[in-house]
Amino acid sequence: MPSHTLRMAAALGAAALAITTVTACSTKAQTSSDTSGGMPTGPGVDGSTINLGLLTDVTGPFAAIDKQQNLGVKLYWDAKNAAGGVCDGRKVNLVTRDHGYDPQKAVSLYSDLSQQVLALQITVGSPTTLAVLPKLEQDRMLAVSMGWSPSVKDSESIIIPGTTYDIEMVNAVDYLIEQKKLAKGDKIGYIHLKGDYGEPGLAGATFAAEANGISVVSQQIDPTVSDLSGQVKQMAGEGVKALFLSASGRQVSSAVAVADVEGLDVPIVAASPGFSPESLTTGAGAAMEKNMLVVSSAAPFAGEGTGPEQVRNLYAKSGEKSITPSLWVTLGYAASSVMDQAITQACENKDLTREGLAKAFRQKGVYDTQQTTVPLDFSKPGVSPSTKTFVMKPSKSAEGGLELVQSGYTGPDTAKFQAR
């Protein structure tokens, strides 16, 4: 996810907070024994309102794209509320807290937020989600993780809205092989952040590469590093035939720009948190359009189908000009659709406690996001909800900055990876 200067991040953070519907819950947290209209309810629920939390990063390294996905969440629930709400006419209220991508701060903020909400509509960042996971599980709170770490797929509290990072990169390697961009004997360079964002991606790429006689050279980086000149120059010296990145947007932009200067004219594959459409306006923009691919579980903003079209319509009607449209707006909308379907199932079951919501989520199993994401099946806990990936390329002419190359791609090594 892209990082900005502190001043820019603070400005984006203020804007993100402004566009998110935030109302402090004035009522005391309810327990699972409370009832509303004869229905058992949990914290954040009364006869007219359901509070959902956003534990997000609006002042840290992922501020730009979090601002966009927060808008997607808001667009969805504003439209839902205007159409009559959910579960017997209840309106959904969003309560936002900014952790700045700091795990310790996330834990502190969660302690307060958990008293006010039924569930977390989004929790941003693999390290921050892992930090609050024990408390989520203790509270039996459901949360949509806006990160695709395989380490949380066993949790009964976490909803992963797509394909996990490791499988995503298995697919990416297989796709380049299928396109004859990689072959046996070649070498891949992989630059990645430490932790549950970068390391699973590296593991997936390494598995697929080695299965096809391709070697991998990796470099781990810190989130605070913004200039990847040294890392990319090393990769160029190694003679890599493709460069993979699980990094922030600023880091990806740096890597692409340096590769261009160094004459490293190879495919560059980035996980979706490493791209935002704003990067196309930088000096790296032309090189991104030439050599870069983005792999993601969310459809591009300009994607086909009912869901992406609805997102574009809602964005246009909102009159929002300060927030760039992107796949992150689409993803925020999709995450809200999943939560809406789970709440609707819980309401049909006449149980709006946290336990009831978690049970309803698993009971429903298969979720229709109207092509805003890859197909999602949560009926089998402990496995990735999907094995498919959108393959996209940066394009200044595409609304949202990404053009769809292939939808729903699954590589031949994915099944082997899952069975290992």
Alpha helices (H) in 83-164, listed in sequence order: 103-113, 126-139
For 415, the token pair is: 């099944």
What CA–CA distance (Å, rounded) separates 2 from 226?
10
What CA–CA distance (Å, rounded) separates 353 from 158?
16
Confidence at 34, pLDDT banded by 50, 70, 90: low
The answer to whether residue 18 scores a pLDDT higher than 70 is no
What is the per-residue pLDDT for 37?
Answer: 65
- Which amino acid appears at position 172 of this protein? A
What is the per-residue pLDDT for 14?
Answer: 38
The answer to whether residue 15 scores a pLDDT higher than 60 is no
Each residue of 324-352: pLDDT tens digit? Answer: 899 999 999 999 999 999 999 999 999 99
Confidence at 36, pLDDT banded by 50, 70, 90: low
What is the per-residue pLDDT for 330?
Answer: 97
What CA–CA distance (Å, rounded) separates 103 from 107?
6
Q: Which long-range contacts (CB under 8 A, 24 or more apart) does 105-111 make?
A: 106/55, 106/131, 106/132, 107/131, 107/132, 107/135, 109/55, 110/55, 110/135, 110/136, 111/135
Q: Which residue has the higher pLDDT, 110 or 320?
A: 110
What is the per-residue pLDDT for 2?
Answer: 40
Q: Beta strand 389-394 with 402-409: parallel, antiparallel or unpaired?
A: antiparallel
Considering the chain, what is the average pLDDT of its residues? Answer: 91
DSSP 8-state code for residue 45: B
Please give the share of the chain, as a percent, with pLDDT higher than 70.
91
Each residue of 255-307: pLDDT tens digit? Answer: 999 999 999 999 999 999 999 898 999 999 999 999 999 999 999 999 999 99
What is the per-residue pLDDT for 22?
Answer: 37
pTM of the model: 0.88
Angle at 45 between CA 39 and CA 49, to 5 degrees: 110
Each residue of 77-100: pLDDT tens digit? Answer: 999 999 999 999 999 999 999 999
What is the per-residue pLDDT for 195?
Answer: 87
* Mean pLDDT along residues 367-390: 95
* Mean pLDDT along residues 250-259: 96
Each residue of 38-79: pLDDT tens digit? Answer: 799 999 999 999 999 999 999 988 888 889 999 999 999 999
Phi-psi region of 195 (alpha: psi -120 to 50; beta: other; left: phi over 0): left
| DSSP secondary structure letters along 159-227 | E--S--HHHHHHHHHHHHHHTTS--TT-EEEEEEESSTTHHHHHHHHHHHHHHTT-EEEEEEE-TT---
The answer to whether residue 1 scores a pLDDT higher than 80 is no
Confidence at 125, pLDDT banded by 50, 70, 90: confident
How many CB atoms are closer than 10 A to CB 129? 28
What CA–CA distance (Å, rounded) separates 126 from 101?
9
For 37, the token pair is: 């209209």
What is the per-residue pLDDT for 290?
Answer: 97
What is the per-residue pLDDT for 294?
Answer: 98
What is the per-residue pLDDT for 175?
Answer: 98
Instruction: Name the nearest CA neighbour of 381 among 119, 139, 143, 155.
Output: 155
* Mean pLDDT along residues 105-109: 96
Angle at 135 between CA 133 and CA 137, to 5 degrees: 70
What is the per-residue pLDDT for 381?
Answer: 84
330 near 19, Cβ under 8 Å? Answer: no
Helices (H) and strands (E) in the chain, counts: 13, 16
What is the per-residue pLDDT for 35?
Answer: 66
Q: Beta strand 389-394 with 292-296: parallel, antiparallel or unpaired?
A: antiparallel
Extract the runs of DSSP E, i.e. beta strands, from 23-164: 35-36, 39-40, 49-56, 91-98, 119-124, 143-146, 158-159
